């Protein structure tokens, strides 16, 4: 039995009188690809925002367990940057790159929380800073190469083609050395070829043992990638299981198609 | 006790003026999310126009009553024209620019207008003609509340009522409220958003002009710089009440006016502006959404 | 060509502006003498002026539409400059030329002009300081002058009461200003951009009003005079020598500032600032501490303003609150915006143009503030990236042998 990396229990989020998330349980084990699916407005992105510290959940617990230890780290109440530091990195559904920075610099930003040069180091460019800077550049470039973005390294991020921007979002998140990578609709707006390439890319990243949790609407992609799938509707988890189980699950079919199905 | 009442009325008077200017800030902010930094200058130009027209008419021997009407109308017409033109020149081209661009443009516009008036007119303080005579029936209480105070209060209340009617019941008022809630949706249901924005600037500027006319005749002198301080204070009032909210702007203005009046009356008049600015800083730190404003969550 | 329809529209536009500006520019009343002066010629100038500008704008638009490759022109001159700066040899030559001019300047120009140049250099440093805050970190600070005032008053008061010298107070002034920066920064940095702008403006005004009204502490509006000029190892300077010395000192400061800002913007911290400017939420999601990063930018900017404040007090030997009005903040902001937010060379050019131009075109000096206002508006509309836009550092890689 593999160890859980992320454990979410009873996560609840209220906006005013509206319950966007209702006592949600979810877990991701090391090296797994898990998908979170559900109709529009089911609360998937809200879930991401809650576990990454952008929203503070009304109730529930979020724990992160590094694979090499058994100590659970609570993420509840942490700020987004602290969550990232602990090892949860995300991409955004509507691309949020740093438009006026180069592609390489976008990835270098991801290294921020793993490095420490500050005012003094920056001004006097000490040996330690120089070494650190060199390692930032090398690591970032290696990530770009791996994701097939090396040719764009010195371009401004907003000059990239759409598919490459999506990949850059992933590259940037990977640069933070996450224990768990969160992808928010990585295939949104992609054409079929790009989606196939993305499918390969995510599998490639996963081969290195990277745990991934993704939100996605493209069912083919979800079924091809996921080890397990969680299904949400109206802020609640309505099903979970392997792709094969989910495909046959009448509750899921009902949620998606709105039909009356005799269970 | 008389002193207290005197300060109270003086606070209400100040509050009325702030309210007339603050409404322009809050309406523009509600619709295009811009702090119209040049709004104080509109008010100053309103006061100047009223001053120039009133003085010319009095030199040519017009009766007082007609001077008040014509100078008031002139102030409203010209201020509105300035508001309309400024929006077209300095803000409209920047509607899709990054958030700070229109603000910097507004600051530029404010500096430009101040110096335009300074160069075309003078940097000296100019004596503003008395437009509101002391009425006789006010005699017994004149030491507590002056005729101009009363005139300002009455005018402000009348203007507020009129504004409420316009916003609640007219077609353009409804279009304004719709645009403030969701500009994209307003466009989709066939509202010409450009016209709504222009109308907002025109109405806001007209209110500021009335404010300018009233305060100038109250204080009795004007110069090119009055818009800056008044603008900042009215903005404070708008933020205090919750920027974007019309009742909030009025409430905030009266709170600010009374605070200033009592603080200068009982503490020290040297620090009058410090009180206002400190209040602004404190509100923004502790209650950025203001008294009647709603906190908004940023969409991710 | 401009069509007949456009001519008509241009005519209407100019008529509108004549109407708009009529009471302010045509009528001038003297309420004491009770006379009215009608300056009809101004209406004519306004009509011709606006008509001309309208045609110019239309012409420009037509050219842009008809020749899509044409507007690149401006970018070419820019990339020419960038090109020079990126080639090591040409870069060295350029730096050498600029350095020679800077060193020899006082020998070819009068003391007065050297003094003017020193002032311009002070604005270069102020601009570069504000550039950290506005240009790199994207925080619109409208009260920058407050920190400048803190620096100036720190030196003036310490000099007055304790006889402390320039070199002693220089770091103290910077640090106290930075402390004020942190003090203001802590509570306000979580505010949204435009609110932050207004709060900093309010803060700047509070500082000025306190200096003006707290007579016991600051000597009020009459200011503090007889502040010591900068010394050097206890040597006595004549006025002329002192001006020369201050000039070279300022050159040194400019070099240090450029050096530091340059290093900062290509560092881990500089990248974090720019990322923060581009997208706050994504920035936090990448593990950057928003508060800390903003606070550092804010206090570093304040530190620079404080240093220049000390310099200013020492140079003029007299300060009063009137030197630290909001307009001063606006001028420094204009420098940054005109030069190009985030661009070091841009800010240097911006400062030199904006400070020297009105000095040398006396006729213009009256219109200086009018021009500042106009520049801010025009830059935002026509060239928001400034005269010289910032270039990001590029990195070269060699293919690793597989």
Q: Which residue of B has its CA nearest to C24?
A: B120
- Chain A positions touching C279 (Cβ under 8 A) are 96-99
Q: Which residue of B has its CA nearest to C135?
A: B100
Q: Which residue of B has its CA nearest to A55?
A: B297
Q: Break chain C into its structural domains and give their ranges.
A: 4-70, 109-382
Residue contact A112–C286, C-beta within 8 A: yes
Query: Of C384 and A112, which is predicted with more confidence?
Result: A112
Q: What is the mean pLDDT of residues C200-228?
A: 87
CA–CA distance, C98 with C102 (Å, rounded to integer): 6
Decide if pLDDT at C264 tops 50: yes
Q: Which residue of C has its CA nearest to B78?
A: C20
Query: Of C105 and B295, which is predicted with more confidence?
Result: C105
Q: What is the mean pLDDT of residues C183-191?
A: 82
Q: Which of A78-87, C235-244, C281-290 is the least confident region?
A: C235-244
* CATH assignment at residue B227: 1.10.3470
Residue contact C267–A122, C-beta within 8 A: yes
Residue contact B277–C32, C-beta within 8 A: no
DSSP state of A43: S
CA–CA distance, C212 with B270 (Å, rounded to integer): 9
- Chain B positions touching A49 (Cβ under 8 A) are 300
CA–CA distance, A31 with A193 (Å, rounded to integer): 26
pLDDT computed for residue C70 by the predictor: 42
| B228 touching C (Cβ < 8 Å) | yes
- Average pLDDT along chain B: 86
- Average pLDDT along chain C: 85
Q: What is the mean pLDDT of residues C144-160?
A: 94
Residue contact C279–A141, C-beta within 8 A: no
pLDDT computed for residue C185 by the predictor: 86
Decide if pLDDT at C316 tops 80: yes
Q: Which residue of B has its CA nearest to C187?
A: B285
DSSP state of C319: B
Residue contact B274–C374, C-beta within 8 A: no
CATH number of C109-382: 1.10.3470
Q: Which residue of B has its CA nearest to C202?
A: B277
Residue contact B121–C337, C-beta within 8 A: no
C residues 24..53 contacting A (CB < 8 A): none
Instruction: With cut-offs at 50, 70 and 90, classify the pLDDT of residue C60.
Output: confident
pLDDT tens by residue, C336-352:
988 888 888 889 988 98
| B296 touching A (Cβ < 8 Å) | no
Q: Which residue of C has its CA nearest to B91?
A: C381
B residues 254..283 contacting C (CB < 8 A): 270-271, 273-274, 277-278, 280-281
- Please report, in angstroms and rounded to a whole number, the separation of the first and last CA atoms in chain B: 55
pLDDT computed for residue A261 by the predictor: 46
| C274 touching A (Cβ < 8 Å) | yes
Residue contact A122–C268, C-beta within 8 A: yes
pLDDT computed for residue B242 by the predictor: 84
Are A86 and A107 spatial neighbours (Cβ–Cβ below 8 Å)? no
Mark the ranges of chain A whose per-residue pLDDT is less than 50: 261-263
* Domain boundaries, position B141: 2-286
pLDDT computed for residue C392 by the predictor: 67
Q: Provide the number of CB pairs (under 8 Å) joining chain B to chain C.
A: 169
Instruction: With cut-offs at 50, 70 and 90, classify the pLDDT of residue C79.
Output: low
pLDDT computed for residue C112 by the predictor: 86
Are A89 and A178 spatial neighbours (Cβ–Cβ below 8 Å)? yes
CB atoms under 10 Å from CB of B219, counted, come to 14
Q: How many distinct structural domains can be found in chain B?
A: 1
Residue with tokens 């000192």: C249
Residue with tokens 């303080």: B125
Whether B300 is in a domain gets the answer no
Residue contact C287–A81, C-beta within 8 A: yes
Decide if pLDDT at C173 tops 90: yes
Q: Secondary structure of A45-109 in the HEC alphabet?
A: HHHHHHHCCCCCCCEEEEEECCCCCCCCEECCCCCHHHHHHHCEEECCCCCCCCCCCEHHHHHHH
pLDDT computed for residue C71 by the predictor: 41
Residue contact A81–C281, C-beta within 8 A: no
Chain A interface, Cβ < 8 Å to B: 15, 45, 49, 54, 92
Whether B297 is in a domain gets the answer no
| C382 touching A (Cβ < 8 Å) | no
Q: What is the mean pLDDT of residues C202-229?
A: 87
Are C34 and C51 spatial neighbours (Cβ–Cβ below 8 Å)? no
Are B43 and B230 spatial neighbours (Cβ–Cβ below 8 Å)? yes
Smallest Cα distance from A258 to chain C, Å: 35
Residue contact A90–C285, C-beta within 8 A: yes
pLDDT computed for residue B122 by the predictor: 85
pLDDT computed for residue C5 by the predictor: 86
Decide if pLDDT at C310 tops 70: yes
Residue A214 Cα to chain centre, angstroms: 6
Mark the ranges of chain B whose per-residue pLDDT is less than 50: none
* Candidates A112, A154, A156; nearest CB to C288: A112
Are C230 and C167 spatial neighbours (Cβ–Cβ below 8 Å)? yes
* Candidates A99, A136, A153; nearest CB to C397: A153
Residue contact B300–A54, C-beta within 8 A: yes
Smallest Cα distance from C213 to chain B, Å: 6
| Beta strands at A228-233 and B221-222: parallel, antiparallel or unpaired | unpaired
Smallest Cα distance from B287 to chain A, Å: 19
For chain C, what percent of residues have pLDDT higher than 90?
Answer: 37
- Chain C positions touching A119 (Cβ under 8 A) are 264, 269, 296, 300
- The domains found in chain A, sorted by start residue, are 1-87+178-263 (3.40.50.300), 97-176 (no CATH)
Residue contact B300–A15, C-beta within 8 A: no
- Chain C positions touching A105 (Cβ under 8 A) are 271, 274, 392
pLDDT tens by residue, B197-254:
999 999 999 999 999 888 888 888 888 888 888 888 898 888 888 888 888 899 999 9
- Please report, in angstroms and rounded to a whole number, the separation of the first and last CA atoms in chain A: 31
Instruction: With cut-offs at 50, 70 and 90, classify the pLDDT of residue C282.
Output: very high
Smallest Cα distance from A78 to chain B, Å: 17
| B297 touching A (Cβ < 8 Å) | yes
pLDDT tens by residue, B19-30:
999 999 999 988
Task: Find chains touching chain C: ≥3 CB pairs under 8 Å.
Answer: A, B
Q: Which residue of A has its CA nearest to B296?
A: A15
- Chain A positions touching C270 (Cβ under 8 A) are 122
Residue C285: CB partners within 8 Å, gap ≥ 6? Answer: A52, A54, A80, A81, A84, A89, A90, A92, A96
Q: What is the ipTM of this complex?
A: 0.89
| C256 touching A (Cβ < 8 Å) | no
């Amino acid at each position: 039995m593999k160890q859980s990396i992320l454990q979410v229990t009873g996560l609840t989020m209220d906006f005013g009188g509206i319950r966007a998330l209702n006592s949600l349980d979810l877990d991701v084990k090391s090296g797994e690809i898990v998908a979170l699916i559900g109709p529009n407005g089911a609360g998937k992105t809200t879930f991401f925002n809650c576990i990454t510290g952008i929203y503070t959940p009304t109730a529930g617990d979020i724990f992160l367990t590094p694979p090499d230890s058994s100590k659970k780290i609570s993420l509840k109440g942490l700020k987004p940057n602290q969550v990232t530091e602990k090892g949860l990195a995300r991409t955004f559904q509507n691309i949020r790159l740093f438009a006026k920075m180069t592609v390489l610099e976008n990835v270098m930003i991801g290294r921020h929380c793993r490095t420490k040069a500050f005012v003094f180091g920056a001004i006097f460019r000490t040996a330690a800073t120089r070494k650190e800077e060199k390692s930032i550049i090398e690591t970032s470039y290696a990530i770009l190469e791996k994701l097939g973005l090396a040719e764009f390294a010195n371009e401004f991020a907003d000059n990239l083609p759409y598919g490459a921007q999506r990949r850059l979002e992933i590259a940037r998140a990977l640069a933070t050395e996450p224990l768990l990578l969160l992808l928010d609709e990585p295939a949104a707006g992609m054409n079929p070829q790009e989606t196939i390439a993305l499918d390969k890319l995510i599998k490639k990243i996963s081969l290195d043992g990277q745990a991934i949790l993704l939100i996605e609407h493209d069912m083919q992609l979800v079924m091809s990638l996921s080890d397990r799938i969680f299904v949400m509707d109206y802020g609640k988890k309505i099903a979970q299981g392997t792709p094969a189980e989910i495909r046959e699950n009448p509750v899921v079919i009902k949620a998606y198609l709105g039909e009356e199905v005799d269970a | 006790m008389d002193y207290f009442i005197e300060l109270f009325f003086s606070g209400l008077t100040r509050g009325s003026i702030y309210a007339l200017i603050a409404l322009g800030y809050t309406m523009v902010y509600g619709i295009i999310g811009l702090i119209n930094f040049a709004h104080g200058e509109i008010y100053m130009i309103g006061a100047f126009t009223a001053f120039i027209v009133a003085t010319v008419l009095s030199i040519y021997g017009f009766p007082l009553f007609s001077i008040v009407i014509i100078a008031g109308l002139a102030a409203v017409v010209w201020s509105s024209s300035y508001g309309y033109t400024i929006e077209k020149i300095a803000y409209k081209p920047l509607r899709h620019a990054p958030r700070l661009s229109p603000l910097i443009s507004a600051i530029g516009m404010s500096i430009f207008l101040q110096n335009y008036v300074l160069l075309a007119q003078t940097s000296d303080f100019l004596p503003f003609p008395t437009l509101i005579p002391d009425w006789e029936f006010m005699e017994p209480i004149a030491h507590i509340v002056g005729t101009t105070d009363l005139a300002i209060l009455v005018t402000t209340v009348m203007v507020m009522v009129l504004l409420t009617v316009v916003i609640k019941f007219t077609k353009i008022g409804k279009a304004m409220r719709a645009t403030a809630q969701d500009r994209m949706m307003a466009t989709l249901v066939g509202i010409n958003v450009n016209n709504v924005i222009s109308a907002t600037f025109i109405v806001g500027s007209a209110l500021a002009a009335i404010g300018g006319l009233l305060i100038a005749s109250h204080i009795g002198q004007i110069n090119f710089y009055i818009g800056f301080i008044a603008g900042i204070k009215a903005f404070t009032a708008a933020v205090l009440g919750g920027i974007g909210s019309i009742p909030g702007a009025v409430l905030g203005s009266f709170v600010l006016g009374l605070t200033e009046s009592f603080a200068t009356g009982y503490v020290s008049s040297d620090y009058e502006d410090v009180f206002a600015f400190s209040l602004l800083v404190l509100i923004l730190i502790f209650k950025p959404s203001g008294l009647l404003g709603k906190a908004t969550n940023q969409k991710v | 060509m401009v069509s007949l329809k456009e001519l008509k529209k241009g005519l209407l536009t100019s008529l509108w502006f004549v109407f708009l500006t009529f009471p302010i520019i045509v009528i001038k009343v003297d309420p004491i003498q009770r006379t009215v002066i009608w300056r009809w010629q101004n209406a004519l100038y306004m009509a011709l002026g606006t008509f001309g500008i309208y045609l110019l704008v239309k012409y420009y638009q037509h050219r842009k539409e008809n020749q899509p490759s044409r507007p690149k022109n401006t970018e070419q001159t820019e990339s020419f400059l960038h090109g020079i700066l990126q080639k090591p040899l040409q870069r060295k030559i350029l730096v050498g030329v600029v350095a020679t001019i800077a060193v020899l300047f006082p020998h070819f120009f009068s003391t007065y002009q050297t003094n003017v140049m020193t002032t311009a250099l002070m604005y270069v440093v102020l601009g570069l300081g504000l550039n950290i805050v506005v240009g790199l970190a994207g925080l619109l600070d409208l009260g920058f002058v407050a920190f400048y005032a803190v620096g100036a008053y720190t030196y003036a008061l310490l000099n007055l009461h304790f006889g402390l010298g320039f070199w002693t107070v220089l770091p103290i002034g910077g640090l106290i200003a930075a402390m004020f920066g942190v003090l203001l920064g802590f509570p306000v940095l979580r505010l949204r951009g435009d609110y932050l702008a207004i709060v900093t403006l309010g803060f700047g005004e509070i500082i000025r009003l306190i200096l003006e009204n707290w007579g016991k502490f600051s000597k009020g509006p009459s200011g503090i005079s007889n502040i010591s000029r900068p010394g050097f190892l206890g040597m006595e300077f004549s006025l002329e020598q002192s001006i020369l010395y201050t000039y070279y000192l300022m050159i040194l400061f400019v070099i240090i500032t450029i050096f530091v800002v340059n290093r900062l913007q290509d560092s881990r911290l500089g990248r974090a600032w720019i990322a923060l400017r581009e997208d706050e939420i994504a920035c936090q999601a990448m593990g950057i501490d928003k508060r800390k990063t903003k606070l550092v930018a804010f206090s570093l900017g304040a530190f620079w303003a404080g240093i220049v404040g000390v310099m200013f007090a020492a140079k003029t030997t007299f300060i009063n609150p009137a030197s630290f009005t909001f307009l001063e903040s606006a001028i420094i902001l204009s420098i940054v915006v005109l030069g190009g937010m985030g661009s070091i060379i841009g800010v240097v050019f911006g400062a030199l143009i904006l400070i020297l131009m009105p000095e040398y075109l006396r006729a213009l000096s009256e219109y200086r503030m009018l021009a500042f206002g106009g520049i801010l508006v025009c830059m935002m509309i026509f060239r928001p990236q400034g005269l010289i836009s910032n270039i990001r550092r590029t990195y070269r890689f060699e293919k690793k042998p597989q």
